[in-house]
Amino acid sequence: MLKYIFLISIILIPSAKAQQVNPSLDNAGIKILWFDQKLDHFNDGDKRTWQMRYMVNEKYFKPNKTIYLFLGGESTILSPNTNASNIMLTNSLMHDAAQKNAGYLIHTEHRFYGESKPTAELSLDDLKFLSSRQALADVAALIRSLKSDISRFGNSKLFVVGGSYSGILVPWFAKLYPDLIDRGWASSAPFQFHLEYERYNIIVARTLEQIGGQECYRRLQNGTEKLANYLNDKDQIEEAMRLLNICNKFNVNNDFALWNVYHKMALVFGTLVQFNTGTNIQAVCKEILQGSNDVEAVSQYIVKQLKDKSQKCIDYSFKTRVENHKILKYTTDSERLWTYQRCKEFGNFPTSEKRYKDMTNKIPLKYFIRTCYMVFGEQFTRERIKENVQRTNAIFKHLHDENRPKGNIFFTRASLDPWVEVGLQNNSMAVLLKDASHCEDLRPIGPHDSKQMRAFKESILAAAAVL
């Protein structure tokens, strides 16, 4: 549903190539490198290869000191908007750990995302190579290659870090490759997988009320409710289309089209909360409260977030949603890719049946199941997707054992994160960071950190120092 944020090298890595990108990266000491990967790590007869992109910061590195590796997730590691690698490699807690301990910083790019393109296009036959297991095997191959350079990395420890989806991969990597990893940290990662996750939108509403205040929350709730009423009233539908800048071809009698409108509205508010910076929710509330009335103010904000400058109107049709997901060409952070992974591995579709206080109206599970079915084919039935999700759940069953030793992985949940209730609930292993947002703990220690947040970050730095 959501978008997530994320120089010729002397490293002796087989088949690696380097590429200068821009002066800002060069000045920060960041290098972009490429590494030959197998297309299929689990088929010895398949000799096809492709090049995975990764980025490094070796500014502080001394031979055989710790490698700090941040796993890439469901987005590019380098874009004008997110600049994820620049952040993780120059402005993160892991960066500070590397700086203090003469460490080597790496940010890997997940296969099929960004410029890491294993196939020519994104057909269903191609996407069978898009899986978490294949991506983890990519990382293992890279680490083994690094460690083959005995003089530089032969005795280096490995600290693996991930947030959100890539946080899911951290204990999975430790389970599959225990010989390679020494420490891990999974931030804001779900470890309970279901077909649907209705609590997502409820937590979004709760957080908006907590941070934005009652007046803002009432305006948001009233505005979205009026928009829903207009969309369901044949006498008010034209007003709804005006307010939401809906293109004329919108089919008002199609349930999936209506659910798509609600889904897009939910995405706007979910993104606002999930990527809370500490000030953005207050700024949005200030903007919305200046509007003339509830429905005008809320709809103006929604349109501003969804409308591209080149568009005259917004296409909310379900048909267009399906068509966009069927595009086989690579585009930056293609919707097709993450939707495929959710249908194939993770589920947790953010539904809403309007049984609780939220601002999303009705987004039923069949909206998401239908998307999987229409985009990827008849094998993606509700039952098949449920089986896929159950297989993923089984991988992490051991994490939910209250008697399990803590081990070498740090787990964190953030109380304001919409994913908090599908995070690891095992209190003997996971830290619940109060009044914190999604992946907030990955940032450097700052003046606005709570005592709990600062203490946790200091424990990470202490663990990094003894590797």
pLDDT for the residue numbered 260: 95
Determine the length of the chain. 467
Indicate whether 228 pLDDT > 60. Answer: yes
CA dihedral angle for residue 415, residue 367, residue 328, residue 38, rounded to 10 degrees:
50
The values of phi and psi at residue 38, to 5°, are -75, 140
| Beta-bridge partners for 196 | 349
Q: Where are the domains of the chain?
A: 17-192+403-465, 199-390
Indicate whether 440 pLDDT > 50. Answer: yes
Model pTM score: 0.92
The CATH H-level (homologous superfamily) assignment of domain 17-192+403-465 is Alpha/Beta hydrolase fold, catalytic domain (3.40.50.1820)
67-76 pLDDT, tens per residue?
A: 999 999 999 9
- Of residues 22 and 416, more confidence is placed in 416
d(CA 26, CA 269): 36
Instruction: Say which DSSP state 420 is in.
Output: G
Question: Within 13 Å and on the Cβ side, how many CA atoms surround 251?
Answer: 11
The token duo for 75 is 């987005």
pLDDT for the residue numbered 9: 24
For residues 25-35, average pLDDT:
84
At residue 357 the predicted structure's pLDDT band, cuts being 50, 70 and 90, is low
Do residues 160 and 170 touch, judged by C-beta distance below 8 A? Answer: yes
Indicate whether 10 pLDDT > 50. Answer: no
For residues 423-449, average pLDDT:
94
- Of residues 439 and 23, more confidence is placed in 439
d(CA 357, CA 243): 23
Q: Which of 286, 283, 248, 244 shows the shortest CA–CA distance to 261?
A: 244
- Mean model confidence pLDDT for the chain: 91
- Of residues 392 and 4, more confidence is placed in 392
Angle, helix 365-376 to helix 382-395, in steps of 10 degrees: 100
Do residues 319 and 370 touch, judged by C-beta distance below 8 A? Answer: no
Indicate whether 341 pLDDT > 80. Answer: yes
